[in-house]
Structure 1
Amino acid sequence: MKNLLLRPITFAMLVLGSLACSEDEVVEEYIPTIAPIYSADPTIFQHEGIYYLYGTVDNDPNTGFEVYTSDDLVNWEGPAGENGGLALHRNNVYGDQGFWAPQVFERDGVFYMAYTANENIAIATSTSPLGPFTQENQVAIAAPVKQIDPFVFFDDDGKVYLYFVRLSDGNKMYVAEMTEDLMSIKEETVQLCIEADQPWENTESANWSVAEGPTVIKHNGKYYFVYSANDFRNPDYAVGYAVSDSPTGPWIKSTSNPILSRNTVNENGPGHGDIFSDAAGNWYYVLHTHFNSSRATPRKTAIIKAEFVSGDNGEDDLVFYPEEFRFLEK
């Protein structure tokens, strides 16, 4: 019994002693830091249970592309690229400025990155989603005019298409078949898909209208073309979509456009992203928004839940859920 009584008394004395010491010492509590991810024109690629986030680096768009990783779309780490956080560095590829809007995909064990540099489109490859993405022949895809914002789409029949923006009397979106090596396009197959010709797509009545950031998915035999419109610095930068029976069009714009705007998520300039699905098959759209209400850059990265729902005409509608919009943090 004596030992049992002494133990609590001794413990109390130790506690009082430590409290006395604390008056002269500052005890620092470790609190994990959480910061927004600033990755514009973002895309998310999933491979073996890991999600890889790539995008334009607003504060240094002339060096390459960072990559962040997550296993749950909530907790992100990085930059995690093999080249000082970069998955692609300009020293290894075509271009020396304006690295914008990457897209990553895989074919036959090789990882490809389609990207913009010097207002041209190029394709680099790697053995890992973390990079380094390189080009043995450091050239852009040949084109008669400047072109940006690539998106590569694999159709069920084996054909591969490149959707992209050409800078000619406005930002207009086109499609073309790709060659077998995925390094160029068949220029004779180029077709116009979408241009900004509706009021919501050009709220400033600019002489140079803008439709950009294409991403295409196939659902129930229909092709859904998701895109952004207006200059990205315009708070009215927003997202719409069009539907077709063919990967080359013609495209019919949804009467619900814009399906994502500052009016739906209370953030200026939401757009230019990529549709993707998680491991459970749920659809999401990753995008960027303005930095705040008075400044566009650096743009913040966010995701929003997406879903196909039955429409009035027997065709499924693509909808975004504003209540499931959230910014990505690291």
Structure 2
Amino acid sequence: MKYLFAFFLCFFVFSIGKNAFAKQLNDTIYLADPTIFLDGGVYYLYGTSGDEGFLVYTSSDLKNWTKPTGKNKGFALKKGDAFGNKGFWAPQIFKRGKTYFMAYTADEQIAIAHSNSPAGPFVQEELKAISGTGKQIDPFVFTDTDGKNYLYHVKLDHGNRIFVTELKDDFSDVIPETTKFCLSGTAPWENTAKTDWPVTEGPTVIKKENLYYLFYSANDFRNPDYAVGYATSSSATGPWIKYQGNPIISKKVLKINGTGHGDFFMDKNGALQYVFHTHHSNHKVSPRATAIIKAAFIKDKNGHFRMQIDAESFRFLMQSAARIN
């Protein structure tokens, strides 16, 4: 009898564990190229999820996330309201005055839409992409301390290469003649497959004191070695010097494949965090899972700031049944 009891106990524990694991997989949020925007005490999470636009999830604590709460059937930006027919990738949200802006990729071009709410709907009066040559993706808008606006982005030209262009004050378009090259995949860790088309993408820029930090991801996103590094400059337009300790986020650090293409944000406590995606698992690329990790600038022995990642804080984002109104 005791052996039969033990058998059923083991079966029960196994079933509970299996169901809990299945629930975790079902509740994991799958957004690639994610960004988090904090507004009015609420965190808004956006990312690449399909060809219909951009879903948005919300949370009050970065732990419990709602199902999509965008004002257009869960979408913050819906196809038809702004430029693009497919390939809605890599959104970034920023606010100027009372207006919210979304810079994003669609049809392998960059567009900027606006809204009166971070939940959308983000729209354009004229459905158009910004000016520029060739295919352009992965926008990041940065406003310097002097008020000048810059668009960091990726051009698909002899590889995925990062450029910067000045933006007009109203964000309606770029100033094409100001375009400058930033960086490309030249270091061994940036092109582990030794391809003829090296990839650097997903730029994010932070200014710390008088130094500019350009964070980026390298390698094809399907490569297990997809990883994050950064470069620094004394100017918003370069030239850029790559950090010798790159990559700072990688499968070596986190023990999971495909870590990269995210965005930094400040949480409610004023602490810096990085939201990014990973492969679905170490055996499957998509759908890519969304995760966050804590980060901080620390001074090295020479008195210079460098970015430090807290690997122990890494965790995936999960949605719950609760909703934020």
How many angstroms does 1:183 deviate by? 1.7
CA RMSD of aligned residues (A): 1.0
How many angstroms does 1:312 deviate by? 3.1
The residue that corresponds to 1:19 in the other structure is none
**Which whole-Å CA distance do the structure 1 matches of 2:219 and 2:298 have between them?**
27
How many angstroms does 1:313 deviate by? 3.1
**Which whole-Å CA distance do the structure 2 matches of 1:188 and 1:166 have between them?**
15
Matching residue's letter, 1:321: D
Deviations 1:120-156 (A, max 9, x none): 0000111100001111100001111110000000111
SS at match of 2:252: helix
Asked if 1:116 corresponds to 2:105, the answer is yes
SS at match of 2:80: helix
Write the mapping of 1:61-140 to structure 2, written as runs, cut at 5 A: 61-140=50-129
SS at match of 2:29: coil
Asked if 1:312 corresponds to 2:304, the answer is no
Asked if 1:276 corresponds to 2:268, the answer is no
How many angstroms does 1:110 deviate by? 0.5
**Which whole-Å CA distance do the structure 2 matches of 1:48 and 1:155 have between them?**
23
How many angstroms does 1:72 deviate by? 1.0
Select which of 277, 280, 283 maps to 1:294.
283
**Which whole-Å CA distance do the structure 2 matches of 1:89 and 1:293 have between them?**
32
The residue that corresponds to 1:253 in the other structure is 242
Asked if 1:150 corresponds to 2:150, the answer is no
**Which whole-Å CA distance do the structure 2 matches of 1:250 and 1:50 have between them?**
37
SS at match of 1:149: strand
Matching residue's letter, 2:183: I
The residue that corresponds to 2:47 in the other structure is 55
The residue that corresponds to 2:323 in the other structure is none
SS at match of 2:65: coil
How many angstroms does 1:78 deviate by? 2.0
How many angstroms does 1:314 deviate by? 2.2
The residue that corresponds to 2:38 in the other structure is 46
**Which whole-Å CA distance do the structure 2 matches of 1:117 and 1:63 have between them?**
10
Asked if 1:173 corresponds to 2:165, the answer is no
Deviations 1:288-327 (A, max 9, x none): 0000112111000000000111113321010111111000
SS at match of 2:177: helix
Matching residue's letter, 1:315: H
**Which whole-Å CA distance do the structure 1 matches of 2:53 and 2:177 have between them?**
31
Select which of 200, 203, 207 maps to 1:214.
203
How many residue pairs match? The answer is 296
Deviations 1:55-90 (A, max 9, x none): 000xxx211000010111111112110111110011
SS at match of 2:318: coil
Matching residue's letter, 1:51: Y
The residue that corresponds to 2:221 in the other structure is 232
Matching residue's letter, 2:68: P
Matching residue's letter, 2:117: S
SS at match of 1:93: coil
Matching residue's letter, 2:29: I
SS at match of 1:223: strand
Select which of 173, 181, 205 maps to 1:192.
181
How many angstroms does 1:274 deviate by? 0.2
How many angstroms does 1:109 deviate by? 0.4
Moved over 2 A (4+): none
Matching residue's letter, 1:53: L
The residue that corresponds to 1:20 in the other structure is none
How many angstroms does 1:181 deviate by? 1.4
The residue that corresponds to 1:27 in the other structure is none
**Which whole-Å CA distance do the structure 2 matches of 1:78 and 1:182 have between them?**
31
Select which of 143, 153, 170 maps to 1:164.
153
Matching residue's letter, 1:188: E
Deviations 1:171-228 (A, max 9, x none): 0001111012102111111111111100000000011010000000111221111100
Matching residue's letter, 1:195: S
User: Which shifted more, 263-272 or 217-226?
Assistant: 217-226
Matching residue's letter, 2:40: E
Q: Which has the larger radius of gyration?
A: 1
**Which whole-Å CA distance do the structure 1 matches of 2:264 and 2:76 have between them?**
21
SS at match of 1:275: strand
**Which whole-Å CA distance do the structure 1 matches of 2:37 and 2:233 have between them?**
25
Considering Cα pairs closer than 8 Å and 6+ residues apart, tell me whether 1 or 2 has the greater RCO: 2
**Which whole-Å CA distance do the structure 2 matches of 1:107 and 1:197 have between them?**
36
**Which whole-Å CA distance do the structure 2 matches of 1:184 and 1:321 have between them?**
37
Matching residue's letter, 1:146: K
How many angstroms does 1:283 deviate by? 0.6
**Which whole-Å CA distance do the structure 1 matches of 2:206 and 2:59 have between them?**
23
